[in-house]
């Protein structure tokens, strides 16, 4: 009996000193991932979900993934968080609905001492993530996608595939933005315009429409704007592919972007959706920046496992923290452009 008690004591001491939970040391499987999506209807979030299910399928018996869709409702997501906490999941992957609510969410999760990885939708401040050692943010460097969109546009300008139709020496642009308070949307917009300006391109923003990443909104807005500005529109820049596709559908109602080179308005997006790639191959869309959903989910999985097994989040990975010390940025994977 004394020998058994001594072994238990040694085990507990090792658990405390190593920062590992007894569950991790005893290899208790499956590891339970709780995933909270802000809106499953979002085309890019669909890619994330599909990649997560692939990871689960490849690791049967090792991980178990439960996915909730908040349908863009923070109150609903709050209740889903409560459910995951009561179910004692091992790690939470959180695609936050309201990016201003990280404080309240962190405080709730911290009470249960469960690791949480915020991803894709960057909180308006990372200070609250910094306050909880079992939390991290995984996203992209949003300005990078804007810079790459700028490269696409500059390349098209050099080929004379984007034309100064009214000879005013200014590129007249419509900008389709994501949400008003979304950091990713803000930086994508700012950085694409800055890239153009820094390369000697004068720009004029005919209109900026916040369409919350949705193609239906973009189609409606572009249809109205085309009826007002028509030929004065020389370029449409979209923060994502879904809105770019919506813009395309609107233009096609007016006979644009269906094969006649004289009736073509360039449209550039972000994400690398399969639908967008097909439309680029057909010459209807101009280009897209590829956001790597597979690499994002791979990082979520590896960092999540590290958290659960009591290791440093980035241990034995190629990832590095950004300047905040709590954010990890997955690079964009280049771009696709029409021939």
For residues 168-197, b (16+ Cβ closer than 10 Å) or e, as one string?
eeebbbbbbbbbeebbbbbbbbebbbbbbe
> What are the C-alpha distances in Å from 138 to residues 283, 295, 308?
34, 11, 17
Residue 6 has pLDDT above 70, yes or no: no
What percentage of residues in the chain have a pLDDT greater than 70? Answer: 92
Q: What is the pLDDT of residue 117?
A: 98
What's the pLDDT tens digit per position in 99-117? Answer: 999 999 999 999 999 999 9
Element containing residue 267 per DSSP (H, E): strand 267-271
What is the rounded average pLDDT of the residues 156-170?
A: 93
Residue 3 has pLDDT above 50, yes or no: no
Strand pairing report for 135-139 and 116-119: parallel
What is the rounded average pLDDT of the residues 2-6?
A: 38
What is the rounded average pLDDT of the residues 197-225?
A: 98
Taking the C-alpha atoms of residue 331 and residue 161, their distance in angstroms, rounded to an integer, is 28
Residue 193 has pLDDT above 70, yes or no: yes
- Residues whose CB is less than 8 angstroms from the CB of residue 140 and which lie 6 or more positions away in sequence, other chains included: 184, 291, 329, 330, 331, 332
What is the rounded average pLDDT of the residues 145-173?
A: 95
User: Are the C-beta atoms of 336 and 282 separated by less than 8 Å?
Assistant: no
For 59, phi then psi, to 5°, come to -125, 45
Cα 36 → chain centroid: 14
Q: What is the pLDDT of residue 28?
A: 80
Cβ atoms < 10 Å from Cβ of 58: 10
Query: What is the band of 81 on the pLDDT scale with cuts at 50, 70, 90?
Result: very high
Interior angle at CA 43, CA 38 and CA 45, nearest 5: 40
Lowest pLDDT segment from 20-34, 124-138, 235-249, 317-331: 20-34
Cβ atoms < 10 Å from Cβ of 208: 12
Residue 26 has pLDDT above 80, yes or no: no
Q: Which of 250, 244, 251, 284 is nearest to 268 (CA)?
A: 244
Listed in sequence order, the DSSP H helices in 113-182 are 127-130, 142-158
What is the rounded average pLDDT of the residues 210-226?
A: 98
Residue 22 has pLDDT above 60, yes or no: no
What is the rounded average pLDDT of the residues 3-24?
A: 38
Q: Which two structure tokens, joined as six digits, stand for 57?
A: 């399928």
Report the Cα–Cα distance between both ends of the chain, in Å, rounded. Answer: 77
Q: Which two structure tokens, joined as six digits, stand for 61?
A: 């018996």
User: Are the C-beta atoms of 91 and 31 separated by less than 8 Å?
Assistant: yes
What is the rounded average pLDDT of the residues 219-238?
A: 97
Q: What is the pLDDT of residue 12?
A: 36
Q: What is the pLDDT of residue 5?
A: 39
What's the pLDDT tens digit per position in 250-289? Answer: 999 999 999 998 999 999 999 999 999 999 999 999 999 9
Tell me the pLDDT of the chain averaged across its residues. 92
Residue 20 has pLDDT above 80, yes or no: no
Interior angle at CA 131, CA 307 and CA 52, nearest 5: 35
User: What sign does the CA torsion over 296, 103, 123, 322 have?
Assistant: negative
Taking the C-alpha atoms of residue 174 and residue 225, their distance in angstroms, rounded to an integer, is 9
Three-class SS state of 33:
strand
């Amino acid at each position: 009996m004394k020998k058994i008690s001594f072994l238990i004591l040694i085990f507990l001491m090792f658990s405390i000193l190593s920062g590992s939970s007894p569950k991790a040391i005893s290899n208790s499987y499956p590891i339970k991932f709780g995933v909270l999506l802000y809106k499953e209807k979002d085309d890019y979030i669909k890619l994330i979900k599909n990649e997560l299910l692939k990871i689960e399928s490849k690791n049967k018996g090792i991980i178990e993934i439960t996915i909730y869709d908040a349908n863009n409702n923070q109150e609903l997501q709050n209740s889903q968080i409560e459910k995951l906490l009561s179910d004692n999941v091992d790690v939470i992957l959180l695609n936050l609905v309201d990016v201003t609510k990280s404080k309240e969410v962190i405080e709730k999760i911290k009470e249960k001492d469960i690791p949480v990885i915020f991803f894709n939708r960057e909180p308006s401040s990372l200070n609250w993530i910094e306050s909880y050692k079992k939390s991290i943010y995984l996203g992209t460097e949003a300005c990078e996608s804007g810079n790459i969109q700028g490269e696409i546009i500059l390349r098209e300008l050099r080929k004379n595939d984007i034309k100064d139709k009214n000879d005013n020496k200014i590129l007249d642009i419509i900008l389709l933005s994501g949400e008003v308070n979304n950091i990713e949307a803000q930086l994508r917009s700012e950085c694409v315009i800055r890239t153009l300006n820094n390369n000697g391109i004068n720009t004029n923003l005919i209109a900026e429409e916040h369409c919350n990443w949705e193609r239906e909104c973009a189609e409606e807005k572009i249809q109205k704007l085309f009826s007002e500005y028509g030929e004065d529109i020389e370029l449409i820049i979209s923060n994502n592919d879904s809105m770019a596709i919506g813009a395309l559908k609107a233009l096609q109602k007016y006979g644009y972007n269906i094969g006649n080179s004289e009736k073509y308005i360039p449209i550039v997006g972000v994400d690398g959706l399969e639908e967008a790639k097909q439309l680029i191959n057909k010459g209807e869309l101009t280009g897209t920046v590829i956001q790597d959903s597979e690499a994002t989910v791979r990082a979520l999985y590896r960092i999540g496992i590290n958290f659960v097994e009591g290791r440093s989040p980035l241990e034995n990975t190629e990832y590095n923290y950004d300047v905040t010390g709590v954010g990890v940025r997955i690079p964009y994977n280049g771009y696709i452009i029409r021939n």
